[in-house]
Structure 1
Amino acid sequence: MEQLQQQIVEHHLLAAAQKVEDQLDNEMHQLQKLEEDDMESLRQQRLQQMKKAALKKKEWLSKGHGEYNEIATEKEFFAEMKGEERMVCHFYRENWPCKVMDKHLQTLAKQHVETKFIKIHAEKSPFLTERLKVFMLPTLACVKKEKTVDYVVGFDELGGSDDFSTHTLAGRLSLHGLITYDGTEDYGEANPNQPKIKGVQRSVRHGGERAAASDDEDSDFE
């Protein structure tokens, strides 16, 4: 009798242990399936992001991004600016400082297709130079959604000499979101640890500080 009771107890214990083991196996399986589903969901999200980025890049390239082009007339300036999220326009003339700026902008245009880079001869664009108060060359007019939000005038903010790096210019343009820059880009040069970037520029014409426009200010072109 006692032997039978012991066998019954052992049977129930084994059954209970098996049930617990089965439950653990099921929970492990569900957890593994959940992780696999999460990974698949993340993979699909990443694929969608990559497809969206590829389509956006294709759109940018179709609009002339990825190149550094010269425009001949002020009318072309407005045509190039229309519908652009970000645009950098170099007002130049035939001199050494402007050629230095050209070199860096050519590099940036190829690397940062999210932004349109163009140049226009200052003497051939009197309306724009007057409207934008371009008084020193080179000057970069930084435009976001058809509004000027920033200017880079001469080399003062880039170290004060013509031997500044492309990284220094990239960092300066990124301050107002003209390009997406994190310092890891490969411009074929070393990235200086501490680029000399100043926060405010002074106007030679007016003798005062020239502040960047905020996004909600009226357009300079209206």
Structure 2
Amino acid sequence: MSSEMFSKVLEAQLLQTTKIVEEQLDAEIKKLDNVDDDELEILKQRRLEGLKKAQQQKQEWLSNGHGEYVEIPSERDFFEQVKRSNKVVCHFYKDTSFRCLILDKHLTVLAKKHIETRFIKLNAEKAPFLCERLRIKVIPTLALVKDGKTQDYVVGFTDLGNTDDFTTETLEWRLGCADIINYSGNLMDPPFQSQKKFGTTFTKLDKKTIRGKKYDSDSDDD
């Protein structure tokens, strides 16, 4: 096929595509034109009701302490928190572990960003019953509790690239895999921004792989 003929074919295809798009737009415009004032008012009211409910939910979260990362003093407080909030991330820490301080930094940021989830921390040495019940043997460990039940754990930094230098986005992705936060990114594409520095072969992981894996953390043992 000559270049001139190819150009004509391409031009014809573009014209056909443009015609289809214009027809689709015309159909949408016609559809909107056929909507009467009463229907528009109903759509407007539904939108306003949705916005109102979203605002009420936000205020309810904030009144329950969402939006901040705080320490709770006892095991009893842990059970109170998981009753009041549908989604809870609890950091079991020890004062002697510097990796707990690393998690504190990231969790403080995420608590402000994801107000749909309650972020708390609890000194593991003050919660022996809870640690035994949840089988927490490695510090730090994040217990991810949804609807009153512990759904998942982030044990040490194994799922975060096996490095102390993981990013907040990496932890956010990991929590998203557990559906404990509303994650807007692609769960199949972990945001490991510097894989060479991590020295790992992480590329794309499946949520089931994470939840079902055998943990092998180099963090402080309980």
What TM-score comes out, normalization by structure 1 length? 0.69
- Secondary structure of residue in 2 paired with 1:163: coil
Alignment match, 1:120: 122
Q: Is the 8 A contact 1:167 1:183 kept in 2?
A: no
- Secondary structure of residue in 1 paired with 2:139: coil
CA shift at 1:166, angstroms? 1.1
Distance 2:31 2:167 in 1: 55
Alignment match, 1:69: 70
The runs of 5 or more residues in structure 1 that have no matched partner are 1-27, 185-190, 206-222
What does residue range 3-152 of structure 1 map to in structure 2 within 5 Å? 32=33, 34=35, 37-94=38-95, 95-152=97-154
- C-alpha distance 44-163 of structure 1, shift in aligned 2 (>3 A): same
Give per-residue Cα distances to partners, 1:120-167, cap 9 Å, x unaligned: 011111001111111111100000111000000010101010111111
CA shift at 1:41, angstroms? 3.3
Q: Is the 8 A contact 1:86 1:143 kept in 2?
A: yes
What TM-score comes out, normalization by structure 2 length? 0.69
Structure ID, larger Rg: 1
Q: Is the 8 A contact 1:155 1:162 kept in 2?
A: yes
Please say if 1:202 is aligned against 2:203.
no
Tell me which amino acid in the other structure corresponds to 2:113: Q
CA shift at 1:36, angstroms? 5.3
Tell me which amino acid in the other structure corresponds to 1:147: K
CA shift at 1:35, angstroms? 5.9
Give per-residue Cα distances to partners, 1:153-207, cap 9 Å, x unaligned: 01010101011111111111111210001139xxxxxx656985662442469xx
Q: Is the 8 A contact 1:138 1:153 kept in 2?
A: yes
The runs of 5 or more residues in structure 2 that have no matched partner are 1-28, 196-201, 218-222
CA shift at 1:33, angstroms? 5.4
Larger fraction in helix? 2
Q: Is the 8 A contact 2:75 2:130 kept in 1?
A: yes
Distance 1:193 1:120 in 2: 30
Please say if 1:165 is aligned against 2:167.
yes
Q: Is the 8 A contact 1:71 1:120 kept in 2?
A: yes
Q: What percentage of residue pairs aligned between the two structures are identical?
A: 47
Alignment match, 2:11: none
Please provide the CA RMSD for this pair. Answer: 2.8
Distance 2:173 2:194 in 1: 10
- C-alpha distance 85-41 of structure 1, shift in aligned 2 (>3 A): same
- Secondary structure of residue in 2 paired with 1:34: coil
- Secondary structure of residue in 1 paired with 2:181: coil
